[in-house]
Amino acid sequence: MKASVLAACLLGAASPALAQTAPAKPVPIDRNVLHVQVILDHLGFGPGVLDGRGGQSLVAALKGFQETKGLPITGKSDARTLQALYPYRAARPTVTVALTPEMLAGPFVNPFPKDPAKQAELPSLGYKTVMEKLGEMFHTTPAVIVALNSPTTKLAPGTKVVFPNALPTSRAYDSKLKPDWIATLTMLNVDAKQPQADHVVVDKSDGVLRVLDANDKLIAQFSATMGSSHDPLPLGTWTIKGSDYNPKFHFNPALFWDAKKGQTKEMLPPGPNGPVGVVWMDLSKEHYGIHGTPNPETIGRAESHGCIRLTNWDAARLSMMIKPGTKAVFQA
């Protein structure tokens, strides 16, 4: 592909779809906060996007980590919590990676149509730009990548770029998985080593999905978006029937309160920018599931249509922890 620059991809005509997200001034990044986020991300306590800034997702992740360590649950990086994080300090806050042709490869969809009927005509619902793809690969945003590098850094094979350290410790994925799903896990930097869940609990009061073992011990936790006033979270005990990787999406306007008049049923192609992202974990409650999202920065903030929405990388990770029949408890 032709070389471009980070600033152009974020700010200029090369990627007009991202221009609206460009900060008026450089994004402030606290490396100490970023280091805490990176460690928590590696340990399975998803802090949301890795951006070196505080927020409700980081608070929730810290609370989950503190619970597992028997610490006072403050949601803060206090002295005792930092001491407990210290053994994991080898996971540095950033990593420098030489770009490869695979990292820069599309297909990209720009402009990205909003109309489901137009989306249904596409071969895939891929990323809009290289920068969006790189942001998702390293569990961050294009703005953070720009802030960590020179605005003139070229996006070309061989260029060394600084990213938040989302690199996994293992890519030894189960050989029984389909090649396209292994490619997705690789692209999203999802670690092949994951704990196995006995059950999951979705708690609307603190906006998280908790993964527990047979002894009811917390082993992972992810910030989530769950329900809305129009489509509330379906409280109760359900089971996860199975996972659909890189799924197509059946758009049925009758199931969406915000569907526009005249819209018809459509079969949308797979892709990370599809309505349910890279994976759909089907629930015994009809029409409900746990899934990814094309907008990771909205997790815990925007509303959903009753389902449980995670970042694509967290949804992919969760899919490796559960199996058909895993219990899912939804509580207020």
pLDDT of residue 5: 39
pLDDT the model gives residue 139: 98
How far apart CA 1 and CA 225 sit, in angstroms, is: 36
| pLDDT at residue 150, rounded to an integer | 87
Alpha-carbon distance of 12 to 46, in angstroms, equals 31
**Assigned domain for 38 exists:** yes
Q: Which amino acid is at 41?
A: D
Give the dihedral sign, CA 225/228/231/232: positive
Q: 18 versus 3: which is more confidently predicted?
A: 3
Please tell me the predicted confidence (pLDDT) of residue 194: 97
Q: Are residues 18 and 136 in the same domain?
A: yes
Q: Which of 167, 186, 210 is the last residue of a domain?
A: 167
pLDDT reported for residue 95: 98
Same domain assignment for residues 161 and 30: yes
- What's the mean per-residue pLDDT of the chain? 88
Q: How many domains does the chain have?
A: 2
Q: Is the pLDDT of residue 140 over 60?
A: yes
| CATH code where residue 264 lies | 2.40.440.10
Predicted local confidence at residue 81, as pLDDT: 98
Same domain assignment for residues 43 and 141: yes
pLDDT category, 298, cuts 50, 70, 90? confident
Based on the fold, state whether residues 215 and 322 are members of the same structural domain.
yes
> Does residue 270 form part of some domain?
yes
159 shares a domain with 20: yes
End residue of a domain, out of 148, 167, 186? 167
- pLDDT at residue 228 in the model: 59
Query: In this predicted model, what pLDDT tens digit does every residue of 229-272 receive, in sequence order?
Result: 567 788 999 999 999 999 999 887 776 545 566 677 789 999 99
Q: Which residue is associated with the tokens 């349910």?
A: 276
Same-domain pairing of 162 and 215 = no
**Do 113 and 252 belong to one domain?**
no
Angstrom distance (rounded) from CA 148 to CA 27: 9
Q: Are 150 and 226 members of one domain?
A: no
Domain housing 325:
199-331
Question: Do residue 156 and residue 203 come from a single domain?
Answer: no
Tell me: pLDDT of 1 over 60. no
Question: How remote is the C-alpha of 311 from its chain's centroid?
Answer: 2
- What integer is the mean pLDDT of 298-321? 81
Please tell me the predicted confidence (pLDDT) of residue 257.
Answer: 47
Tens digit of each residue's pLDDT (9 = 90 or more) over 145-189: 999 998 889 999 999 999 999 999 999 999 999 999 999 999 999
Q: Is residue 189 part of a domain?
A: no
Q: Once rounded to an integer, what is the mean pLDDT over residues 98-111?
A: 96
Helix (H) / strand (E) containing 47: none
Query: Are residues 13 and 162 both part of a single domain?
Result: yes
203, part of any domain: yes
Q: What is the pTM of this model?
A: 0.88
In a domain, 180, yes or no: no
Within-domain flag for 187:
no
How crowded is the C-beta side of 279, counted as CA atoms within 13 Å? 25
In-domain check, residue 300: yes
- Cβ neighbors of 140 (< 8 A, separation 6 or more) are 49, 50, 51, 163, 164, 166
Average pLDDT estimate for 300-317 = 77
Is residue 56 domain-resident?
yes
By three-state DSSP, how is residue 65 classified? helix
Residue 283 and residue 289 in contact, taking contact as beta carbons nearer than 8 Å: yes
Please, what's the largest Cα pairwise distance for the chain?
58
Same domain flag for 265 and 140: no
DSSP string, 287-305: T-EEE--S-GGGTTTS--S
Whether 217 shows a pLDDT value over 80: the answer reads yes
Structure confidence at residue 259 (pLDDT): 55
Which of 172-176, 204-208, 305-309 is the least confident region? 305-309
Distance of CA 12 to the CA centre of its chain: 26
Based on the fold, state whether residues 13 and 133 are members of the same structural domain.
Answer: yes
